Amino acid sequence: MGLRFSAGFTALGPTLLALASFGLALYLVSVAMKVLPVSVAYPVWAGGGTVGVAAIGILVLREPLTTEKALGIALVLAGVALINAVSEKRSGC
């Protein structure tokens, strides 16, 4: 959301929110990779982010939810679930 309203990084508040969010996301995925293989951690991070941003667009920004968009979101979720289901976890998971 910060990036959406940053006006090309010219609005200070949204720009700082976007940069802080990016930093936090990278930190959290690096923590997850301590206990999860990269083949699980990265798809969950990327797919979760994709679905999350789509949900924010639909719920907050009132973007239309088309059949195609709903199918795409469902496929991303199914792919992440499948990768997670068939992947070995390291200790701590």
Higher pLDDT, 5 or 91: 5
pLDDT of residue 89: 61
Tell the residue number behind the tokens 């990036």, with chain if given: 3
Domain residue limits, the chain: 1-29, 33-86
Asked if pLDDT for residue 91 goes beyond 60, the answer is no
pLDDT digits (tens, 9 = 90+) for 36-58: 888 888 888 899 889 999 999 99
What is d(CA 47, CA 62) in angstroms, rounded to the nearest whole number?
A: 21
Is it the case that residue 90 has pLDDT exceeding 70? no
Query: pLDDT tens-digit profile of 3-39?
Result: 888 999 999 999 999 999 999 999 999 998 888 888 8
